[in-house]
Structure formats: C-alpha cells, structure tokens
Amino acid sequence: MQLKIMPKKKRLSAGRVPLILFLCQTISALEVPLDPKLLEDLVQPPTITHQSPKDYIIDPRENIVIQCEAKGKPPPSFSWTRNGTHFDIDKDPLVTMKPDSGTLIINIMSEGKAETYEGVYQCTARNERGAAISNNIVIRPSRSPLWTKEKLEPITLQNGQPLVLPCRPPIGLPPAIIFWMDNSFQRLPQSERVSQGLNGDLYFSNVLPEDTREDYICYARFNHTQTIQQKQPISLKVISAKSSRERPPTFLTPEGNASHKEELRGNVLSLECIAEGLPTPLIYWIKEDGTLPTNRTVYRNFQKTLQIIQVSEADSGNYQCIAKNALGAIHHTISVTVKAAPYWIMAPQNLVLSPGEDGTLICRANGNPKPRISWLTNGVPIEIAPDDPSRRIDGDTIIFSNVQERSSAVYQCNASNEYGYLLANAFVNVLAEPPRILTSANTLYQVIANRPAFLDCAFFGSPLPTIEWFKGAKGSALHEDIYVFHENGTLEIPVAQKDNTGTYTCVARNKLGTAKNEVHVEVKDPTRIIEQPEYAVVQRGSTVSFECRVKHDHTLIATVTWLKDNGELPNDERFTVAKDHLVVTDVRDDDGGTYTCVANTTLDDVSASAVLSVVAPTPTPAPIYDVPNPPFDLELTSQLDTSVQLSWTPGDDNNSPITKFIIEYEDAMHEAGLWHHQAEVSGTQTTAQLKLSPYVNYSFRVMAENSIGRSLPSEASEQYQTKAAEPDKNPTAVEGLGSEPDNLVITWKPLNGFESNGPGLQYKVSWRQKDGDDEWTSVVVANVSKYIVSGTPTFVPYLIKVQALNVVGFAPEPAVVMGHSGEDLPMVAPGNVRVNVVNSTLAEVHWDPVPLKSIRGHLQGYRIYYWKAQSSSQRNRRHIEKKILTFQGSKTHGMLPGLEPFSHYTLNVRVVNGKGEGPASPDRAFSTPEGVPSAPSSLKIVNPTLDSLTLEWDPPSHPNGLLTEYTLKYQPINSTHELGPLIDLKIPANKTRWTLKNLNFSTRYKFYFYAQTSVGPGSQITEEAVTTVDEGKMAMASRQVDIATQGWFIGLMCAVALLILILLIVCFIRRNKGGKYPVKEKEDAHADPEIQPMKEDDGTFGEYSDAEDHKPLKKGSRTPSDRTVKKEDSDDSLVDYGEGVNGQFNEDGSFIGQYSGKKEKEPAEGNESSEAPSPVNAMNSFV
C-alpha cells in the first residue's frame, strides 16, 4: 500500500455508508507530515535537497563552494568522491565542510589555485535507512585568455568589393561574447550590407567609401569574470572607382551548395547564410519538406540568421537559404539533425510502504539515441549490491513484493546516452506505525449559521489508517448525505445550522491500533444591521445624524466602525461617534460624501452606506472684519546646529482673534527669494522651537491668521547658517528604462540644494541584472538626473539604486527598484489567426498569443491591419487604404466594425510593445455577406406624352450584393394634392430605363423607386412628373398656366416687380454720382455675416482698413456686363465662377466644373451659404 497526504476534496459513493477514507497514492519525501512530534521518532532515508549544477564553472578569484544538502531521519552523514575515488577532506587544510551539511568550501583566496581542484565530484548522503548520491559535478575554472599578438596589415579595396574581417577570439570558458566597436567604444553600425557572423567575423557584402576607417576593433567579453579582451585595430581604406561592376550573389559563409548541422533537443537552432554581391543581396529562408514553425521562428542579423527556439526532433530536415539581388539568385541547403540528451517520461517516486505490502519504482526516459537505463541501490550498482528477495528488476521497473523493514533503501536510476545523463534518487521506506492524529485535541470551531464549517483531522499511520467521524458521546458514524468528507480527514458541514452545535469525534484505525480526537463546534447567529443610515441633504453649518443599529450573537462582541468615502473619518472634533449614531456638527462642503457603517465580530462583518449632500444656507449679513496686521520684532535665540528659537510680537488682530501663526523660511544660499513653509503654532504663542537642516542659510518670517484670512508677512529675521552634514535622503522617482535595445537609462529626481546638506553633491549609481549572480556595478556621477548603461541585453530586468553623497559622506542605503533595459521590436507574429464573420458589417478576429520571451518589451497589445480587396479599376493605384484597430493588453480577440457588405477583405495581426510593432501574421482573407443596397444614384423622367412617361435611372452606388430586381411604386396626385391609389411594379435588375403607358393625360404622378438584393429592399428615391395636355407642350407648361391664374401668384409678381424698380432707381442715382460706390457702404448695405471679406493670411473674416473705406473704385473696377471680375479687383475665389462653392476637384487637384456667367439654382442642403447679389449684377440680370 502507498501513502499520500493531500488536501483533495472527494465525496464518497452514494448511499448511507460510514465515513472511511482510503488513500492509495504515492507519497514523495516532501509530503511526509512535518509535525515535530511525529518526526522525532519517524525514520526516513536520505533525500538530496540541493546540489551544484552538473557543469559548474567557477570564478578562480573566489572560494570554491560545491553544494550538497540532504535531509533524513536520523540526519544523514556526508562523504565525497573526486574523479571516482574517495576525497578525504581532512587531509586538505584548504577544504572544509559546513556543519550539518555536505557543502564543501575550498579556500583558494588565501593560497592555492583553482586549477588544482578541477575534476568530477560526487556527494553521498547516508543514514541507517540508505544512501542518496548527487549528480557528477564537473568543476572547471573560468578562463579569459588574452588575444595573441599579431601584426595586422592595412587593407585597401576598391569600391564594391566583398570583405571579411576576421575576429578569431581566444578560446575561453565559457565562450566569449563577440562585438565590434571603434576606439570611442561605439558599436559599429550594421545593416543588410555589413553584419557580424555567428563566428564573430565582420562580413561586408560590398564595401563603400564611407567604410574607410582605421579602428575596426573586435572585442571579446567574458561575462563570468567580467573582463573584456580587445583585438588589434584593423585599418580599411576603400578607393572610389568610377563605376563598380555589378555581380550576382555568392555565399561568404557557409561554403559550397550544402552543409550539415546537428543540434540537441530543447536548444536554439541557429542557421546562418551571409552572401556578397552588388547590389547587396537579400536572404530568404524555406524548409524544403515542411513549413517553418510560426511561434518558434526568429530571424536575426537582417534575416541572415534563422533561429528556431525549443528545437525538437520534428524540426529535423533540409533548410534552404536563398540569396537574391537584381542579377540573380543562389541557394544553399543545410541538413539539420536533432539529437536529444535523455529526458524524463516518468521519474521514480519515493515509496512509503508497510510491512507485507507491494509496490513498484518506475524509471522511464527518452532521448536520441535511446538512453540506457541502469539501477543502483544506496549508490552501488544493483548487480553487485546485497541481494533483496523482495525486489525484482524488469528493465525500467523494480517490482517489490512482501516488503520488510530491511527492504528500506535508496535507489538510483541512471538514464544515459552519448549526449548526457539523468540521475534520480527514490527511496523505499518500510514503516510499521500505529495511527496518529496530528490535529490538536478539543479544538473549538466557531462558525456563522448558513456558512460552511471545516473540522480538521490530520492523521498518519502505516498501513494507511481509515477515518470515521462521530457526533456526540455515543453517536453513530456520520454519513455523506449531509456531510462532505475530504481525503486528508477533514469533515465539511456545507451549511452549518444551530443543531450542528456539539462535539465531534475523529477515529483513525489500522491493524496496529486506533487513535481518536474530539473537536467542538459552536454555531453563532449572523450579525445584522437592523436600522441603516439614510441619505441626507443638509445646509452648510447645520448638524446631521446617521443611525446604525446592529444585532449580533450575544456570545460575540461586535464593534462598529464608521468610514467616509471608504477611508477613515476626518480627525475632527465635529465628528462624534455614539453607540448607534454618527453625528456631524457644523457641516462643511467637504463633509459631503458616502458614509459607511461597518459592524465586525471575530467571525463576520456587515456594512451599510448612505450619502450626505451639503447645500448652501440662506445668506445672512455678516459683520465686517479684517485680517491681522503682520507680526514684528523677530528675534533668534538658543542657536544650535539643528535647532533655533524664534520669537516675535503679534500685530493687531483687527477684531477677529488670531487662530495661528505661520512661519516660513528662505534659503539664501540655494534658493534666494523663495519662501517655504516651516511650521505653524497656536495663535496664543509668540515663540517657536524650529528644527533646522544642515548647510542652509536661514531667514525667517511670520504671518498671522484669523477667521478672515492671513496677514501680510513680517519683516525677515536675521540670517543663520547651519553646518554641513551628509545627505539624509536619497533621490526619488528612480527608474530604469532603455531608450535603445542595448542600453539602460537610469533616471532620478535629483535633490535640491536644500536637501544636499553640504557642498559637492554627487550620486552613486549602482545596477545589476535581477536574475543573475553578478555583483553590483557602480559609478559616481555629478549632480545630474540620469546615467546610461550601454551594452545591455535586450529587455532584461535590472535592480537599480541611486545613493546621494557629498563632501561629508554618504546618505543612508537607498531602496532598490527594478527597471528594464531597452525594448526591441517583437520577434514573432501572432499565430492561428481566425476570422468569424458575424454579419455583413461586423467580424470577430481571434489569434494565439505570442510567447512572452519573443515580445522583448512591455506588451501593449495587438494591432489588426485590415483592408478591402481592390477591384480591377482600383489596382493601378499605389496606395491601399488600410485600417488599423489596436486592442490593449493581452487580449486574443477583437471585433472589426463598419465593414462594407458583400466585400472581400484581408487582414493580419501584429503584436505591439513599447518599441513598436512586430512582424505581421500571414494575411487572412475573408468576405462579408450581402446587405441591402443604397438608393439608386439618380432617377429622371424623360419624354412625357399624353399617356406615358419614361423613367431613366442609375444603379445604386453601393449595391452591397447582387441586385435581384427594382421595385417601382407610383400614384397620381390631383389638383388638391390628394394621393390616388398606389401601383406596384417589379422591374428586372439589368434594366436602367422603363416606360409607363396608359397613364392619364395632364396628371401629376409621384414615383417611389428602390433596388433589392436577396437580403431585402434598400433605400428609396422619389420623383414627380406630369403627363402632357398635347404632344406640343410640356406637362410643366400646363402647371404654370394653372398657377398664373391664381390671385396670390399675381400679387407676388407685382411685389417682386416693385422691389426691382426701387433697386434700379437706387443704382441709377449712385451711377450719376460718378461711379463712386465705397466698399464699406456696400458691406453695410448687404450686412450678411457669411459674405464678409476674408483675410489673406489666415482665411478668417475681417474688415477693410479705414484708408480704403471711402476710396472710389479704380477705373474699370465696375462689374462688366458679362458679370466677370478682374483678378486685380477680387481674390480668385471659386464663388466667382459658375459652379461657386459647389465646384469639385479631381484627385490630382484639377478643377471639375464649367465656367459660366450664370449660376444654376441648386437645392439647398442646409450647409450652403446664400450670397447677396450686388446692385450692378441685379441690373445686369434685367438687361
């Protein structure tokens, strides 16, 4: 039987059965109960809890620490082997072992060399129940060798030739990080033409004159020892040629047409192709027998490097890189094989068995090639270990049957192939233990009625005990119809009631004995607010009371707390809290808000709220008072380094008692002329003890305040300068944000002069990577507000601190804040983009999130680009209008509104960080269904006859689908404008002309016309027309004759004629005055705000200058009879042309419309301005 103690929740099968808990799962070493009383006499084999990594590269400048920690009962002893033989630490004075631990400390700081202790170490932890062993820990000191000295000849090339600058860094441990910089420690710019290869060499596809320089320097950075080695500078001179001969691409690396690459599972597969050519070739990647994994593929170095993250066996195959320019293309095939070091399928788990039970240890691993499984017991190969009749080995499984206490041991499983190994310890612990209940006896559980109650019964025993619960001294076993039984022994009462009060007994049984424990349950009444506070509106200055009466269980103590706007009540004596009330006197405007009454007991709490609104009282006359006169006679006494006493004489209070004095100071050394608040004292005091800061030249002044206001400041006191001291605070607002992918910009709010506490203010800026083991890097800078750290990895968390210091000393240790180095554009596009068309104008887009590591910055959201597919007539346009929608945060879906029906769309999705957008996902096309059409573009009635009318129309500008038919409805209108019967007519969709026959002569008809798709009818367009009296006259003529006989029409025409006559007389009089017609009088005569003159500079309406107000028009400035205006007399405005403000422009800016002297009257659209005619034009219209 196997034991596991887990807090899983499980109901027993249906039926009224006793509560018996069977736990039959494996227990690991960490899951043995940690009750101190139990652990005192519970034996357990050793378990390795912490150890150094398998490949342990050490810093030769520091002591060597090889970790090995283990636990067990009794506590284990430790021993070590080195290179397969016993390592006697007692014989080496430099080696010590930590007490109660197996961790070795080798002191090489005082003497000795790290190379002496290179080797393979293994730790063994042993007690009477067995022995556990660690991995083989390979100790190697890090190395950062110097570059071999070499003489580098200057390189001279002609413009356009290829070039490779070799780096060939020294071989270090671990390998160095390579980068190219100049003498100023500035990184050399790289591009599609110039880039660094994986081997560190600098490749030029073709050289340009601007590549000429004498300081091409390759640097090797060894992070483990924090050292940087530098190669000798390389000089390059590029000679400009008259013409560079273009050439197709050839590969600089790799060589040949094919190559092979082998990588281990789980690593990053990096494939590289760099080509030369003129013009510069571009690199493309494909996988010959499949597609590249979208979410794991990253392109680096301007697409010259292809990386696949977390590579697996499925990524094996042929990859092809293609180099292409305008003169041709070449390709190179890389055959990739993915091998695998062993990895676990099922690691062996610890077993806790009782005597006579059976069990198994299973050890399953996979790899490429398939790993070999071998077993050890207590660190010894199982083939030569003492025989145990209770065990049998079957490949990757050890089968135990009828175990006894002597079967206890620690077993090791080793899975290995040529690429590595896995080692796991798993113990078999055979225990015979009677039941023990670990929960404290007579525990009291108090619960609120109608809430759940949980009664604990933690237990242990081997064999695993069964659990039963009873209520009362002689009660029967509880059943699962009203209770929930948990596997860890806990009894749950889902809804506690008063009758659940009582004593409950937990009983644990196995074949070795019985244990029991009693707990007690009390069910309490819930707390309730029986009278709640109510909404109140009160006048300013009055009193308001809120009531809160609470009822609770009599055995509990309730406390009532009042809150204002979810915070504490103001510390003001106007607020009084009684037993059941809150009273606010002299209510002010800022007392308005939400007041909440919270009633608490030790078991529950309830609350109720009400809003207070404060309104202004009825105004009453107030007596006239004034602010106090300023204080005078300021004097400084008791002058110390950190304090001084200030005294003064109050001025007159002007009939309103002084309530307080406000003391301000000026720092003449740092901020002369600027006064700051120092202190406030009661209006009855005339002295104040003031605390002072170091290195400040103080002056003080005092102001008095009463209920009316504050007095003017007093005269300044004498100056008093304090001594310098170290800063007592550090800069605030410390932040770390990168401005570039390879830097970290540390900023802070500097201390002001007052806070510096002394001369020579500086800042110590320190930083280190949050997730690394690097030491702090520090630099002291002047009194500035930022510092830039260069050469950082992209978007890595950093710990940052900024400490102030001056000539006296340092400020206290600063707080550590976290920042991030610079962001770079995301590397991976969202995958699995899916589109769900909701309706004809709305679509829903879903996508899979990108891996967090590929974002390389703070995730800001996802951005959808979508555009409508162009028709054949639109494809010649270069610009495609793309729409963009951004969805904040980590959302993986969004809606696209405002789509056009019956249209084809294309979209892609990109992830966005603080740097910008990542690559676009593959384009996803979708189509919207049909919708209803717009109204037909036009409807005209032509060729009216006695009994027929012909209709012509243009199809809808937005059909939104396939038109199925047109619907025409029409009805006659009699002379009293009454409508006749409506006639409905269907017309095929391919028609744009239709003739209606058999109509009544001299009759007006109203037409309603609309198009239809399969979805339904669209918007309609209406028109009216009249049939003719006879063939020689238009229907409109008949209508005009009828109107002309009307009295009202005759009267209107007479009035118009009279107005025109008056206008002609006025114009004639003005002409007789010599043609003088001042502009200002013209504006006054036609004071329409919409036709005021316009300023030339800003397009706004203005006035003519006074100098021009009364000047006559220039000779020839009158409007000629053809109603045109010369350019010198008027701005070239479209209003002066026939089309006026309604003129249109082509996309290239050319004007559309006809130039005519006569402007046709168009229907008013509500946004057109009417233009008042000039008298001259009015005359010309009658000529």
Instruction: Please report which confidence band the pLDDT of residue 621 belongs to, taking 50, 70 and 90 as the band edges.
Output: low
The pLDDT assigned to 1098 comes to 41
The pLDDT assigned to 227 comes to 85
The pLDDT assigned to 930 comes to 93
Kindly state the average pLDDT of the residues 926-937. Answer: 93
> Mean of the per-residue pLDDT values for the chain?
84
Q: Please name which of 86, 81, 159, 153 lies closest in space to residue 121, comparing C-alpha atoms.
A: 81
The pLDDT assigned to 146 comes to 85
Instruction: Please report which confidence band the pLDDT of residue 577 belongs to, taking 50, 70 and 90 as the band edges.
Output: very high
Element at 1180 (helix H, strand E): helix 1175-1180
Instruction: Please report which confidence band the pLDDT of residue 805 belongs to, taking 50, 70 and 90 as the band edges.
Output: very high
Asked if pLDDT for residue 631 goes beyond 50, the answer is yes
Q: Please name which of 820, 802, 794, 811 lies closest in space to residue 747, comparing C-alpha atoms.
A: 802
Q: How many CB atoms lie within 10 A of CB 1144?
A: 10
- And the tokens for 930? 């049909």
Which of 119-128, 405-414, 611-620, 819-828 is predicted least confidently? 611-620
Instruction: Please report which confidence band the pLDDT of residue 273 belongs to, taking 50, 70 and 90 as the band edges.
Output: very high
The pLDDT assigned to 662 comes to 95
Q: Please name which of 733, 666, 1076, 791 lies closest in space to residue 178, comparing C-alpha atoms.
A: 791
- And the tokens for 573? 């004596």
Asked if pLDDT for residue 64 goes beyond 80, the answer is yes
- Per-residue pLDDT reduced to its tens digit, 707-765: 989 999 999 999 999 999 999 999 999 999 999 999 999 999 999 888 888 999 999 99
Cis check for the bond before 74: say yes or no (omega within 30 of 0).
yes
Which of 134-138, 504-508, 977-981 is predicted least confidently? 977-981
Residue in this structure with the two tokens 């069977």, named with its chain if needed: 22
- Per-residue pLDDT reduced to its tens digit, 1124-1150: 333 333 333 333 333 333 333 333 333
C-alpha triplet 399, 404, 410: angle, nearest 5°: 60
The pLDDT assigned to 1137 comes to 31
Residues contacting 974, CB < 8 A, separation 6+:
980
| Single pTM value for the model | 0.47
Instruction: Please report which confidence band the pLDDT of residue 228 belongs to, taking 50, 70 and 90 as the band edges.
Output: confident
- Per-residue pLDDT reduced to its tens digit, 488-503: 899 999 999 988 999 9
- And the tokens for 710? 């504050």
Residue in this structure with the two tokens 């073709």, named with its chain if needed: 206
Percentage with pLDDT > 70 across the chain? 84
Buried-exposed string 1088-1120: b where 16+ CB fall within 10 A, e elsewhere: eeeeeeeeeeeeeeeeeeeeeeeeeeeeeeebe
Instruction: Please report which confidence band the pLDDT of residue 1046 belongs to, taking 50, 70 and 90 as the band edges.
Output: low
Kindly state the average pLDDT of the residues 651-662. Answer: 91
The pLDDT assigned to 619 comes to 67
The pLDDT assigned to 851 comes to 93
The pLDDT assigned to 368 comes to 92
Q: How many residues does the chain have?
A: 1183
Kindly state the average pLDDT of the residues 90-107. Answer: 91
**In whole angstroms, what is the distance from residue 216 CA to residue 194 CA?**
13
CB–CB of 307/268 below 8 Å? yes
Q: What backbone phi and psi angles, to 5 degrees, belong to 197?
A: -85, 175
**In whole angstroms, what is the distance from residue 429 CA to residue 427 CA?**
6
- C-alpha count within 13 angstroms, C-beta hemisphere, residue 637: 7
The pLDDT assigned to 166 comes to 93
Asked if pLDDT for residue 875 goes beyond 90, the answer is no
Q: Please name which of 634, 719, 713, 703 lies closest in space to residue 668, comparing C-alpha atoms.
A: 719
> Hey, is 336 helix, strand or coil?
strand
**To 10 degrees, what angle do helices 1047-1072 and 1035-1044 make?**
80
- Per-residue pLDDT reduced to its tens digit, 146-177: 888 888 889 999 999 999 999 989 888 889 89
The pLDDT assigned to 1171 comes to 38
**In whole angstroms, what is the distance from residue 438 CA to residue 28 CA?**
19
**In whole angstroms, what is the distance from residue 924 CA to residue 904 CA?**
11
Kindly state the average pLDDT of the residues 1004-1025. Answer: 92
Kindly state the average pLDDT of the residues 679-693. Answer: 92
Instruction: Please report which confidence band the pLDDT of residue 243 belongs to, taking 50, 70 and 90 as the band edges.
Output: confident
Distances (CA, A) of 929 to 284, 494, 681, 965, 966: 38, 53, 78, 18, 20
Instruction: Please report which confidence band the pLDDT of residue 617 belongs to, taking 50, 70 and 90 as the band edges.
Output: confident
Element at 756 (helix H, strand E): helix 753-756
DSSP-derived secondary structure for 812-863: SPPPPEEEE----------EEEEEEEEETTEEEEEEEPPPHHHH-S-EEEEE
- And the tokens for 671? 């901020």
- Per-residue pLDDT reduced to its tens digit, 597-607: 999 999 999 99
Sign (positive or negative) of CA dihedral 503, 508, 509, 514: negative
Percentage with pLDDT > 90 across the chain? 61
- Per-residue pLDDT reduced to its tens digit, 399-452: 999 998 888 999 999 999 999 999 999 999 998 889 989 899 999 999 999 999
The pLDDT assigned to 635 comes to 92
The pLDDT assigned to 1094 comes to 37
SS (H, E, C) 384-396: CCCCCCCEEEECC
Q: Please name which of 108, 110, 176, 185 lies closest in space to residue 142, comparing C-alpha atoms.
A: 176
The pLDDT assigned to 37 comes to 60
**In whole angstroms, what is the distance from residue 424 CA to residue 346 CA?**
11
DSSP-derived secondary structure for 606-667: EEEEEEEEEEPPPP-------PPPPPEEEEEES--SSEEEEEEE----TTS---EEEEEEEE
More confident residue, 1135 or 1075: 1075
Query: Exposure of 906 by Cβ count < 10 A (0-12 exposed, 13-18 middle, 19+ buried)?
Result: middle
Instruction: Please report which confidence band the pLDDT of residue 344 belongs to, taking 50, 70 and 90 as the band edges.
Output: very high
Q: Please name which of 852, 807, 792 lies closest in space to residue 828, comparing C-alpha atoms.
A: 852
Asked if pLDDT for residue 474 goes beyond 60, the answer is yes
The pLDDT assigned to 1045 comes to 59
